[in-house]
Structure 1
Amino acid sequence: MTFHQTVPFHQVQHIAATQAILDNVERATKIHVVDLQIRNGLEWITLMQALESRQEYPVEHLKITALVITKRTGDQLKSFAETINIPLFSFHVVQIPDLKDFRAGLFETDPEEALVVFSEFFFNKFTSRPVELDRAMREIKIMNPRVMVMIETEANHNSPSFSSRFVETLFHYSAFFDCLEACMSPEHEPDRRIMETVIVTELVTNMLAAEGEERGMRSVKLDTWRSFFARFGMVEQELSDVLLYQVKLVTGKCSGWKFCTTNWDDGSLTIGWKGTPMTSVSVWKFVRTARLVSGPKDLVVEFV
């Protein structure tokens, strides 16, 4: 929570992702968000508030389905969901032991819903398991989401060369530590110590010291994801001017955030610190291909 409140990356990327969802469900009255790796769920509070205040096309139902791959997290979320009593809102948990068990049918989608898939640092954990990642993408395509919104680390930690990974990790986390020092005050020292000595240490150790499938942290840059998603007939969507305005408001609200940089990258957003890219926010849609379903006399085209 302290990290979310004091360091700009999370707030900026969540504001951008939430606005991207709103832009793509602006006329939908039934909305279903599938969160592929839920954390604290703070971004969904913002989404609920925005939808509740919408004058045109009032929302009849917002459903959020959280995917969890550990039993402990699943049990905690189920307990939390029982305490929520918000009209027109429902929260569901889908629990699987491993990515290989990912199936479209688990999410109970409805054709009347505007389905959104949200991925925050989900795919990079499975770049070392391409067969399972491909299978998961095929299942997502079967779900036929209106849009997929993705947040990922904007760095290449997947090189087979140790020296390349070392240099990339050095620059990326040097900027990260500089950001922590600038944004977290002395009162946040205990939280900062946990972030640096426990969480980041574990990430960096895995990136540099592990090999094969044991090296689970394999972040790649946006261009690599573009090539990967193209194989599944996905096209990148340009983010809106409203989204850019929202991002500027967030980055300008705190003097310590003046070094947080945002840049367009072919329609997507990269968020950095003093010019070093840290994360990216991108929006994707599956291409609908046409096929002839009747003879030339009564030409009918169906999109699939």
Structure 2
Amino acid sequence: MSSRTTINSQTDQGRISAQRNKKGKKQQRKEMVDLRTLLIHCAQAVSVNNHTLASDILSIIRQYASTSGDDSQRLAFCVADCLEVRLAGTGSQLYRKLMAKRRNAVGILKVFHLCIAICPFLRAPHYFSNKTVIDVSKGKPRVHIIDFGICFGFQWPSLFEQLAKREGGPPKVRITGIEQPQPGFRPNESSTNAGQRLADYASMFNIPFEYQGISSKWETIKIDDFKIDKDDVLIVNCIYRLKNLGDETVSTNSARNRVLNTIRMLKPKVFIHGIVNGSYSTPFFLTRFKEVMYHYSALFDIIDKTLPWDDEARMILERDIYLSEVLNVIACEGSERIERPESYKKWKLRNKKAGFEQLPLNPDTVKGTRAMVKQYHKDFVINEDDQWLLLRWKGRILYGIATWKPSESNNGD
């Protein structure tokens, strides 16, 4: 998807720009207040509905925050907007409006290319997942991949390319792409479009291919909807999307556990699970606020270290994607809040409780993923813990990936 040359040129461009801006940044920082502390004080005022104090602090933050400054100024601008929306009590309406607005496909593609070029957080799990699929389906004539959160289907063309080179020819590939229904008159549009694109790619690589799209609330999908064939090697894939399902604070029989239960009952050969490692799913606003600040500080720092300030795709990523996510965490409550990541340790407990057992990491897959991460900025770190492969920026674990299978000791439904 992205050559090493592209990555290096993007990184070099960012470094040159960073050096150019270094002197200006130092000067600005001398004059800057501690934005993080101000934001936390503002959040404290918001949490007790002290509108006057919160508004006063927001007006100070606005003097230093900027959509075109360094990472701390840009994050402050984003978070201040979200605090203002929470104060006004319009979080849910605004978030629904943002989600209903159909995102420009060209803009999304620019952001995707940007993310592939500057950081390994998409390429690494895609590589890990595709390598797992290839290993598990070795020598088998039919593969069925159920992809929870297929989105645009960007992950799968590179798998087709690798399967096309398989000794003895490629297997027949079935993909069931699952998405949430979209607002408006075409709820299945995203999943259908992904299927058409993937059929074109499969044809390009001479892969026998079949696609089924499901656009539905994930917790309502039944086993029969997947049209399982016992002759297929069944693989379930979910990269970074289970965080969007409701947990126990929304419902006792949570959507999160119901979907895990469905996956277990499918009895896949392997369940590939990529997670956003965050601790801002708590119902307590201030705790959640601090955690989301720390998490997005790292993401904004990554962009600042690798890209020029005025990069177009950077602005789309920050102002469209990151802003809507942070808005959901800060300004929405109850079932309206869908950004609910958990730490990899909590996911381990949850998956085991749902009847899964964790599989050991494949050393070759880990080695290949490490080699890929080394192509990026030196502050990206990959390490292993408790059979999870963890992706870090400096000291902060941001993402994790692991493989699971239904536990043999748990045969109940």
Residue number among 225, 242, 246 corresponding to 1:127 in the alignment: 246
2:269 alignment counterpart: 146
Residue number among 141, 150, 154 corresponding to 1:42 in the alignment: 154
Which residue identity lines up with residue 132 of structure 2 in the other structure? Answer: A
1:110 alignment counterpart: 229
SS class of match (1:9): coil
C-alpha displacement of 1:103:
1.3
Number of residue pairs matched?
289
C-alpha displacement of 1:208:
1.7
C-alpha displacement of 1:27:
3.8
C-alpha displacement of 1:289:
3.6
C-alpha displacement of 1:35:
0.6
How much identity, in percent, do the aligned residues show? 20
Which residue identity lines up with residue 162 of structure 1 in the other structure? Answer: F
Of 2-11 and 239-248, more deviation after overlay is shown by: 2-11
C-alpha contact 1:68 1:93 (8 A) present in aligned 2: no
Is 1:51 aligned to 2:163, yes or no? yes
Is 1:250 aligned to 2:372, yes or no? yes
Which residue identity lines up with residue 168 of structure 1 in the other structure? Answer: E
C-alpha displacement of 1:199:
0.9
Structure 1 residues 23, 183: CA separation in 2 closer, same or farther (over 3 Å shift)? farther
Q: TM-score, normalised by structure 1?
A: 0.87
Counterparts of 1:283 and 1:75, CA distance in 2: 28
Which residue identity lines up with residue 408 of structure 2 in the other structure? Answer: R
Residue number among 167, 177, 180 corresponding to 1:69 in the alignment: 180
Counterparts of 1:109 and 1:274, CA distance in 2: 43
Counterparts of 2:171 and 2:200, CA distance in 1: 21
Counterparts of 2:373 and 2:410, CA distance in 1: 43
Structure exhibiting the larger radius of gyration computed from Cα positions: 2
Is 1:159 aligned to 2:282, yes or no? yes
Is 1:261 aligned to 2:381, yes or no? yes
1:235 alignment counterpart: 357
Counterparts of 1:240 and 1:163, CA distance in 2: 40
Which residue identity lines up with residue 180 of structure 1 in the other structure? Answer: I
2:330 alignment counterpart: 208
Structure 1 residues 87, 8: CA separation in 2 closer, same or farther (over 3 Å shift)? same
C-alpha contact 2:152 2:190 (8 A) present in aligned 1: no
Counterparts of 2:124 and 2:382, CA distance in 1: 9
Unaligned runs of 5+ in 1: 292-302
C-alpha displacement of 1:230:
1.3
C-alpha displacement of 1:152:
1.0
SS class of match (1:145): coil
Which residue identity lines up with residue 276 of structure 1 in the other structure? Answer: R
Counterparts of 1:192 and 1:28, CA distance in 2: 42
Structure 1 residues 231, 102: CA separation in 2 closer, same or farther (over 3 Å shift)? same
Of 107-116 and 80-89, more deviation after overlay is shown by: 80-89
Counterparts of 2:220 and 2:206, CA distance in 1: 32
C-alpha contact 1:237 1:284 (8 A) present in aligned 2: yes
Which residue identity lines up with residue 300 of structure 2 in the other structure? Answer: F
SS class of match (2:122): helix
* Runs of 4+ in structure 1 over 6 Å off: none
SS class of match (1:135): helix
C-alpha displacement of 1:221:
0.8
C-alpha displacement of 1:58:
4.2
Is 1:17 aligned to 2:129, yes or no? yes
C-alpha displacement of 1:186:
6.0
C-alpha contact 2:151 2:194 (8 A) present in aligned 1: no
Counterparts of 2:295 and 2:175, CA distance in 1: 33
Structure 1 residues 287, 179: CA separation in 2 closer, same or farther (over 3 Å shift)? same
Unaligned runs of 5+ in 2: 1-111, 182-186
| Bigger proportion of residues as strand | 1
C-alpha displacement of 1:77:
2.4
C-alpha contact 1:103 1:136 (8 A) present in aligned 2: no
C-alpha contact 2:144 2:174 (8 A) present in aligned 1: yes
C-alpha contact 1:260 1:274 (8 A) present in aligned 2: yes
RMSD in angstroms over aligned alpha carbons?
A: 2.3
Counterparts of 1:239 and 1:185, CA distance in 2: 37
C-alpha contact 2:140 2:233 (8 A) present in aligned 1: yes
